Chain A
Amino acid sequence: MIKFDNVGFRYETGPEILSDISFELAAGSYHFLTGPSGAGKTSLMSLMYLGHRPTRGSLHMFEHNVGFLPRERLFEIRQKIGIVFQDFRLMNHLTAFDNVALPLRILKRPEKEIRNNVTELLDWVGLGESKDRLPPTLSGGQQQRIAIARAIIARPRLLLADEPTGNLDDTIGFRLMGLFDQLNKMGTTIVIATHNTHIMELFGHPRLILAHGRLTQETRQGPITQKIRNVS
């Protein structure tokens, strides 16, 4: 589903931030992406959601070589991806409801279906009361939940979440991580960038570790996850 082959990346004429990145993620997999701040997690994600193109090497997304994909076809791939941006990137003039509805509207789903699904999801993430409010009037954690809802509302085949629980308390954080697990079970491939070792330990998915522009893979399953899974 995702295949990096000796990918290198730099912003304009800046230094190379990612070097010789090679890895492959199978459909239906679930990975944590971690590494120190400034290591390039967000940059790596932006290559996956086609926000930037690799400066060298080849990147395949959904069996398409991104390097050769014409601009006007990028949206087809992006429509299969749900993204939670580290800085949310909500539309500040649209209500919480309309922000979450946006991906469905882009897909031209019927308005009735949109109303039902969006309302249900907003209720689920605890924003049912705030659905008519504009993002700037909401707290960081509330905005983050809108961002997450927007990323998953259209049932993407790939979910890329950049620090999705950074602003959330543990209760709602775990609840959302549980939701991601549910999505994963239904077939969504997931990559979550996070610093949160606690969460990584708890859920124990394999890790992609970025440091000094290079990526290493760690396939260990955390023991705590096993415990939780056994308990529940």
Chain B
Amino acid sequence: MSVKRPPFYVKAQEILLRTVLGSKGYDLPFGSDADRGYLLLLVGLMSFLAVLACAGTLSLHAMTQRWSSGLENKITIEIKAEDRDGTMLSPETIRLETEKITEMLQKNPAVKSFEALQEKEIKKLVSPWLGEDFSLEDIPLPGLIAVELNVSSPEALEKLTGSIKKLSPTARVDTHREWLQDILRFTGTLQWIALFVALIVALTTVTAISSGVKSRMAVHKDQVEILHLIGASDKYIARQFQWHAIIIALLGSILGTAAGLGMATFILLLSGQSGTSLIPQISLDSTSMLIFIFLPVIASIISGVTARFTVLRTLSLMP
């Protein structure tokens, strides 16, 4: 007859329990419970999800921060290629208006720096839509000036817009605020979703631990009764279930968190490689890492408290 070796997590659990509860391990026969593998797996998967949700939130946060700070004092002036009646302006007119505006910008103290985009650059910007070989004579292109301001107060901006409008009534001043706000709203929603996922993860863990504890109490009803009869208080019995749950959660969560971090790193690496300049290089800094180290601790605390509460409540309903 071959003796089946217990899986590694059973050994690990036993060692941990012995450390916490003294040399005896525990008084209730949890060792034979079939469900602890599932519970470990469940807590592991939940931690995995939590890590991904957390990593997503953190990198989104870093991303929006970089976007908003990068665009803070920047505006773009667009000199439209058609006037108010819809008549196309000649490239010559556009160039003239652009020059007038740049002259004004040069003298304006609120302006830190500016750069009028050259035809070549504008051409490059629109080439995805129009193709490489078209001449400005065919389709008039707007003039574009990128401006960096010293200040970002709305009043200063309004004053500047006023002076631009005087020089070119059809010019449009784009503060990027609109689309930045859209992006921020979008990422905000994503963060709420991540939070919601974290909440569901926590709730699932609580439910699973609680029902696991209940079924284990039913399985070990006789042993629990013996403990009672020889003088164990409800708290003593709860402590057994509590530490058992804590250790399962700790092990499961460490495994799940490690797997989740591996996955998150992998995803971030992939997104970094794609080279899209829109998504800034994102990586997890040390503060974020701290959060992930605390995740198993948090999972253990949630599980322990849940188990304790469940046992005490179940026992208090007994005669």
Bound pair: A and B?
yes
A105 within 8 A of B: yes
Chain A: interface size category: 20 to 34
Do B319 and A106 touch (CB < 8 A)? no
Least CB distance from B265 to A in Å reads: 42
A111/B22 in contact, CB under 8 A? yes
Cβ of B152 under 8 Å from chain A: no
Given contacts A98-B24, A105-B24, contact A78 B316 (CB under 8 A): no
Contact indicator B233/A91 (Cβ below 8 Å): no
Q: Kindly specify which of B35-43, B97-105, B222-230 makes contact with the partner chain.
A: B222-230
Query: Any chain B CB within 8 A of the CB of A53?
Result: yes
Chain A residues with Cβ under 8 A from B236's Cβ?
A: 75, 106
Residues in chain B near residue A92, CB distance under 8 A? 29
With an 8 A cutoff between CB atoms, is B318 at the interface? yes
Set A93, A103, A111, A150: member contacting B32, Cβ < 8 A: A93
Q: Does A220 contact B (CB under 8 A)?
A: no
**Contacts A93-B29, A106-B227, A111-B22 given: A75-B233 contact, CB under 8 Å?**
yes
Contact A78-B230, Cβ < 8 Å, known A91-B223, A101-B24, A106-B236: yes
CB proximity to B under 8 Å, residues A89-103: 89, 91-94, 98, 101-103
Q: Decide if A102 touches B27 in the complex (CB within 8 Å).
A: yes
Q: Across the interface, do A72 and B228 meet the contact criterion of CB distance under 8 Å? A: no
Let me know if B228 and A78 touch, CB within 8 A: yes
Q: How far is the CA of A91 from the CA of B230 in the complex (A)?
A: 12
Determine the residue in chain A with the shortest Cβ distance to B24. Answer: A98
- Chain B residue numbers with a CB within 8 Å of A71 are 234, 316, 318-319
Is A79's CB within 8 Å of the partner chain B?
Answer: yes
Q: Let me know if B232 is at the binding interface, CB within 8 A.
A: yes
A106 to B233, alpha carbons, bound, how many Å? 8
| B262 touches A (CB below 8 Å) | no
Whether, in the assembled complex, A107 has its beta carbon less than 8 Å from a beta carbon of chain B, the answer is yes
Question: Which of A78, A93, A101, A111 gathers most chain B CB within 10 Å?
Answer: A93
A144 to chain B, nearest CB (A): 16
Contacts of A79 in B (CB 8 A): 231
Complex Cα gap A103–B236 (Å): 12
Chain B residues within an 8 Å CB radius of A98: 24, 27
Q: Given contacts A102-B230, A106-B231, list 4 more A-B pairs with CB under 8 A.
A: A71-B318, A72-B233, A78-B231, A89-B222
* Complex A-B, nearest 7 residue pairs according to Cβ-Cβ distance, in ascending order: A79-B231, A93-B29, A75-B233, A78-B231, A106-B232, A89-B226, A106-B231
Query: Chain A: residues with CB nearer than 8 A to chain B?
Result: 49, 51, 53, 71-72, 74-75, 78-79, 81, 83, 89, 91-94, 98, 101-103, 105-107, 111, 150, 154
